[in-house]
């Protein structure tokens, strides 16, 4: 009788910035868990996790609202981030739990941790935070401690270079480091589990059955810069994370299962974030109105991806969004549906390919 190998012990480090890193990593882990070959230990300070760490694993990107960056506060976070506590605590954790490999999405410290304890790390991401902070630093002419901050960013880049490999997701931008093997992977995303009618009934919004529905979501950010109720075309209603003004706007909680809402809506309005982009594509190629985030360097990669893989995207400038007349953008989004076609996609095949890529990368890292 053949002996079954014990599961590999893998630490999974997830950035605490926004919803996207957390949801996409959990979706990946669900795909990998079918084989029962791995025991995953999630390490994150994200409040989305049931047991968040009491200390930060990385400096924060600070936003004033879902589409505007606070450069001063972000650089302040970078300047004051002290890695000594997480390094000590996580080194202890890795040794106590006999961790054999690390997955990271997408901060740099786990790569250093892996080297410290003599194991390999695999990055799974479309961008890295050294490039984000570099862009913020380069765009701030008033910064008085540029040299010290540059050293911090360079240290991040050096840590990323310690990774064994990078599984590069669609929508990527260039990585400032070199060294790790880069493997391109297909998109993966959470899928809707309920029908439109079931989703609306679960929200108590059966009254919207006969309406066209706009989903207004910004990746879990609570703040909004709107001061009133936006205008919608006739026959439309909006499910929103921030606005409640029946009978046209209905506010939902932030812990709803977003793929069900995307599946139930006709158009999505939000920002270009990897989680939303992937779920818009994976749940019916829903038309997507995006509010640009000019200070976010990763947006360029996401926009290229959406323009090639999605092709149902409409830009709504910040001042137009804040003017609260969304009728023109919604009308344009309706038009792109009729003017573009999308081919049926075998998502199960892509999921299987992603799993194969991960297994191969992990085997290469362990050997």
pLDDT at 338 over 90: no
Task: Check residue 343 and give its pLDDT.
Answer: 75
3-state secondary structure at position 357: helix
Higher pLDDT, 140 or 224: 140
DSSP 216: E
Task: Check residue 18 and give its pLDDT.
Answer: 82
d(CA 320, CA 302): 21
How would residue 187 be classed by pLDDT, with cut points 50, 70 and 90? Answer: very high
**Burial profile 169-205: b = 16 or more Cβ within 10 angstroms, e = fewer:** bbbbbebebeebeebebebbbbebebebeebbeebeb
Q: Please, what is the average pLDDT of the chain?
A: 94
Query: Do 160 and 108 form a contact (C-beta atoms < 8 A)?
Result: yes
Mean pLDDT, residues 236-245 taken together: 95
In order of 64, 135, 188, 191, 320, the CA distances from 337 in angstroms are 33, 35, 23, 21, 22
pLDDT at 99 over 70: yes
CATH of domain 196-339: 3.40.50.2000
pLDDT at 1 over 60: no
8-185 shares its CATH topology with 196-339: yes
Higher pLDDT, 354 or 5: 354
pLDDT at 337 over 80: yes
Task: Check residue 2 and give its pLDDT.
Answer: 57
d(CA 185, CA 169): 5
The three state secondary structure string of 272-320 is CCHHHHHHHHHCCCCCEEECCCCCCCCHHHHHHHHHHHCCCEEECCHHH
| pLDDT above 70 coverage of the chain, percent | 97
Task: Check residue 254 and give its pLDDT.
Answer: 82
Task: Check residue 295 and give its pLDDT.
Answer: 83
- Both tokens of residue 69? 């960056």
Mean pLDDT, residues 191-205 taken together: 98
Higher pLDDT, 327 or 3: 327
CATH of domain 8-185: 3.40.50
Neighbours of 76 (CB within 10 A): 16
Burial class (CB in 10 A: 0-12, 13-18, 19+), 234: exposed
Task: Give this prediction's pTM.
Answer: 0.95
Neighbours of 357 (CB within 10 A): 18
Q: What is the arrangement of strands in the sheet containing 249-251, beginning at the earlier edge strand? A: 249-251, 236-240, 212-216, 267-270, 288-290, 313-315
The 10s digit of each residue's pLDDT in 265-289 is: 999 999 999 999 999 999 999 999 9
**Alpha helix locations (H) across the chain?**
20-32, 71-80, 84-96, 109-117, 129-138, 146-160, 196-202, 258-264, 274-282, 299-309, 318-323, 327-339, 347-366
Mean pLDDT, residues 45-61 taken together: 95
Q: How far apart are the first and last CA of the chain?
A: 26
| Domain segments of the chain as ranges | 8-185, 196-339
Query: Which residues have CB under 8 Å from 279's CB, separation 6+?
Result: 189, 190, 258, 259, 262
In order of 62, 292, 302, 307, 339, the CA distances from 319 in angstroms are 21, 10, 22, 23, 27
Q: How many CA atoms lie within 13 Å of 27's alpha carbon, on the beta-carbon side?
A: 24
φ, ψ of residue 328 in degrees (nearest 5): -65, -45
pLDDT at 23 over 90: yes
Burial class (CB in 10 A: 0-12, 13-18, 19+), 363: exposed
How would residue 220 be classed by pLDDT, with cut points 50, 70 and 90? Answer: low
pLDDT at 366 over 90: yes
* Window from 30-44, 217-231, 236-250 with minimum mean pLDDT: 217-231
d(CA 114, CA 103): 10
How would residue 356 be classed by pLDDT, with cut points 50, 70 and 90? Answer: very high
pLDDT at 225 over 80: no
The 10s digit of each residue's pLDDT in 118-169 is: 999 999 999 999 999 999 999 998 899 999 999 999 999 999 999 999 999 9
């Amino acid at each position: 009788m053949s002996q079954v190998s014990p599961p590999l012990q893998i630490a999974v480090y997830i950035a605490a910035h926004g919803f996207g890193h957390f949801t996409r990593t959990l979706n990946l882990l669900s795909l990998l868990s079918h084989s029962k070959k791995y025991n995953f230990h999630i390490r994150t300070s994200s409040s989305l996790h049931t047991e968040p760490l009491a200390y930060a694993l990385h400096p924060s990107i600070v936003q004033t609202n879902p589409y505007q960056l606070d450069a001063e506060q972000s650089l302040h976070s970078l300047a004051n981030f002290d890695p000594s506590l997480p390094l000590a605590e996580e080194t202890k954790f890795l040794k106590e739990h006999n961790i054999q490999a690390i997955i990271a999405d997408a901060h740099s410290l786990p790569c250093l941790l892996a080297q410290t304890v003599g194991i390999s790390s695999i990055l799974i991401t479309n961008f890295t935070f050294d490039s984000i902070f570099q862009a913020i630093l380069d765009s701030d002419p008033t910064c008085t401690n540029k040299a010290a901050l540059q050293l911090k960013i360079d240290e991040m880049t050096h840590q990323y270079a310690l990774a064994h490999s990078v599984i590069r997701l669609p929508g990527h931008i260039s990585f400032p480091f070199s060294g790790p093997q880069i493997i391109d992977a297909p998109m993966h995303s959470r899928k809707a589990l309920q029908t439109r009618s079931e989703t609306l009934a679960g929200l108590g919004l059966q009254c919207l059955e006969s309406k066209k529905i706009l989903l207004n979501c910004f990746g879990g950010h609570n703040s909004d810069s709107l001061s009133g109720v936006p205008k919608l075309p006739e026959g439309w209603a909006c499910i929103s994370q921030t606005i409640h003004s029946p009978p046209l706007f209905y506010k939902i909680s932030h812990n709803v299962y977003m793929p069900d809402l995307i599946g139930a809506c006709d158009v999505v309005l939000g920002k270009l974030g990897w989680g939303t982009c992937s779920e818009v594509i994976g749940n019916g190629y829903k038309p997507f109105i995006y509010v640009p985030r000019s200070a976010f360097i990763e947006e360029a990669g996401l926009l290229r991806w959406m323009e090639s893989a999605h092709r149902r995207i409409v830009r709504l400038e910040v001042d137009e969004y804040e003017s609260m007349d969304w009728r023109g953008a919604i009308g344009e989004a309706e038009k792109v549906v009729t003017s573009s076609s999308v081919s049926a996609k075998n998502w199960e095949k892509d999921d299987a390919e992603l799993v194969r890529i991960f297994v191969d990368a992990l085997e290469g890292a362990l050997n």
